Amino acid sequence: MIRFWSVESDPAGQGRIAGAKPVAVLDIGSNSVRLVVYERLARALTVLYNEKASSTLGRGVAQTGLLAEASMAHAFKAIKRFALVCRLMEAGEVHVLATSAVRQAGNGPQFTREAEEIIGVPVRVLSGEEEAHFAALGVVSGMPDFKGVTGDLGGGSLELAIVRGRKDCSTETHELGVIRLQDDSEMSPARAVEIVRERLAKSEAIRREPLETFAAIGGTWRALARLHQARCKYPLHMVQHYEVPVSDILPLCDALVEDRKQVGGMDTVASARRGLLPYGAAVLAEILRAGGFKTVIFSALGVREGYLYDRLADEEKDDDPLIEACKEISVLRSRAPEFAGDIIAGSAELLAILRVDETPDERRLREAVCYISDIGWRAHPDYRGEQSIDMIAFSDIIGIGHPGRAFLAQTVALRYMGFKQKSTSKKLLSLAGEHLTARARLIAAYFRVAYPLAAAMPGIVPRTWFTVENQMLILNLPSDLAFLDGDRMRGRQQQLAVEAGFRDGTIVVAEG
């Protein structure tokens, strides 16, 4: 008999967090209907299931004031399927959010009632200000230190918010969605630029005071980011936290507006997005010029994640999403998750002995990599390093930029491969930069001492300590652990000493 997975019968089934109850968000937008089911409500969300269906609910609303019958039929069919998915996954909570198309249409209330009958929970129709608020919180949830202006570009509207100190302090909405622009401009990107310029003239968010960074949210802008990555052969194909100088992105935006068919790399863009790209590019270019921004950073997190972030307790909101995500990975993949605590403390003591200063961000990166440093142990020994790079670089952890992501991947790869073997992901790892690469080598060399010393089990590392004498880095062992001194450990200790800048390294058994 086939036995289906159940939250109640198998709370930690298939590598999932024990006791986690899935939470689902159904997002009824102007361009598509999307269901995302998360493993649980937490500071660092993990996606269990993600599916969207095109509906183009926003098509024609500006002209007729109504949702088209055909578009509603597409949306209802998708909602029926998504209701089934929520039941199969035993979602503990289901949240349904509707945005500009539904709120602007005269038959929006009728659509909402029918959708509620299908899904079985209330539909929350967000105001423009609420949409801007939750989109801004979505950015904050993934980039806690973000300061600047956020923009969420949908099919029917554009929402802007000023963000400081993990809060949005000003929100506004504009009739500048990509489907709306197609309709209003009669499918003319050049005319769309004039419309964007005219409507943005009313914006205070991008003119109130100079802010250097603009965070771009929404499917069309994500497609634009992927196109930019493809054209410049960027080694990490990930939109979240992708940071680009405005001077680099503006020429691409202008080229798309002028004639998208002449822009190279369009084959990397999903066919459903290609026609929308010039209009998204027109909006982004005019925002960046009007606001005088220096950098655009793309966010894969938006209204859905911001809505769930807002439901967390205040103390949970203050948690570091990177650390929380890495703790979960450690629980699911490490041989002994408690060992992470030993090497977090041990690496901190080593840096103190070496008088190596850490910034707050460097400290959190070190702690994060300690949590995930044992994730590759199930792989074949010859491929643990490369597989770890893939698991880390391409994971959905948040709260970290691309250089930091490359640091984590490089550190764990070196911990497994050593310093002689060269990775095939050299270009990707180079995103870390010289400083973080040097730090990755030092931490990895420490791991290569700590792991064989304790067999990846807790309790041994805290009983050892480092000292420095006569330009020599010494690993001290208590007398009852003297048998741990051997040729392999001395070789690893010598390697650590070299990475730390010493001429030599050795192991000494303490007396008594």
- Apex 255 CA angle, 254 and 257, nearest 5: 65
Residue ranges making up the domain that contains 19: 13-125
Q: pLDDT for 220-229, tens place per residue?
A: 999 999 999 9
- Please give the structure tokens belonging to residue 462: 């805290």
Same-domain check for residues 298 and 198: yes
Are 301 and 246 contained in the same domain?
A: yes
My answer on whether 111 and 145 are in the same domain is: no
pLDDT attached to residue 270: 87
How much is the pLDDT for 11?
A: 47
- Could you tell me if 232 and 258 lie in one domain? yes
- In this structure, the answer to whether residues 18 and 58 fall within a common structural domain is yes
Instruction: Please state, rounded to an integer, the average pLDDT across all residues of the chain.
Output: 92
Q: Are 69 and 110 in contact (CB under 8 A)?
A: no
What integer pLDDT is reported at residue 14 of this predicted model?
Answer: 60
> Are 73 and 115 spatial neighbours (Cβ–Cβ below 8 Å)?
no
Burial of 103 (0-12, 13-18, 19+ CB in 10 A): buried
User: What does the pLDDT average to over 171-190?
Assistant: 93
Closest CA to 284 of 253, 329, 327: 253
When pLDDT is averaged across residues 246-258 and rounded to a whole number, the result is 96
Tell me: do 133 and 281 sit in the same domain: yes
Does residue 349 lie in a domain region? yes
Confidence class for position 181, pLDDT limits 50, 70, 90: very high
As a whole number of angstroms, the longest Cα–Cα distance in the chain is 88
Specify whether 184 is located in the same domain as 302.
yes
Asked which of 68, 97, 125 is the last residue of a domain, the reply is: 125
Question: How far apart, in Å, are the Cα atoms of 361 and each of 31, 311, 367, 431, 442?
Answer: 38, 26, 10, 16, 17
Asked if residue 499 is part of any domain, the answer here is: no
Distance between CA 482 and CA 323 in Å, rounded? Answer: 35
pLDDT digits (tens, 9 = 90+) for 325-380: 999 999 999 999 999 999 999 999 999 999 999 999 999 999 999 999 999 999 99
Residue 67: DSSP 8-state: -
What's the CA gap between 504 and 491, in Å, rounded? 10
> Which of 68, 94, 125 is the C-terminal boundary of a domain?
125
Tell me the torsion sign for CA atoms 147, 148, 149, 154: negative
pLDDT of residue 17: 82
Confidence of residue 8 (pLDDT cuts 50, 70, 90): low
**Which pLDDT score is estimated for 512?**
53
pLDDT for 210 equals 77
Quickly state the pLDDT bin for 10 (edges 50, 70, 90): low
- For residues 117 and 137, membership in a common domain is answered with no
In this structure, what token pair is assigned to residue 380?
């074949």
Has residue 494 been placed in a domain? Answer: no
CATH of the domain at 53: 3.30.420.40
Do 360 and 282 share a structural domain? no
Residue 506, domain member (yes or no): no
Pair (211, 358) in one structural domain:
no
Are 23 and 145 found together in one domain?
no
List pLDDT tens digits, range 276-329: 999 999 999 999 999 999 999 999 999 999 999 999 999 999 999 999 999 999
Does the pTM exceed 0.85? yes
CATH number assigned to the domain comprising residue 182 = 3.30.420.150
Q: Are residues 157 and 290 in the same domain?
A: yes
Residue 468 lies in a domain: no
Residue 284 forms part of a structural domain: yes
Q: Is 90 exceeded by the pLDDT of residue 468? A: yes
For residue 13, what pLDDT is reported?
53
Calculate mean pLDDT across residues 490-499: 96
State how many domains the chain has.
3
- For position 445, which CATH number holds? 1.10.3210.10
Listed residue (414, 372, 407) closest to 391, CA to CA: 372
Judged against a pLDDT cut of 60, whether residue 170 lies above it is answered with: yes
Q: What percent of the chain has pLDDT over 70?
A: 97
* Domain membership flag for residue 508: no
Domain-located, residue 493 = no
- C-alpha span between 444 and 450 (Å, rounded): 10
Q: Of 283, 306, 329, which closes a domain?
A: 306
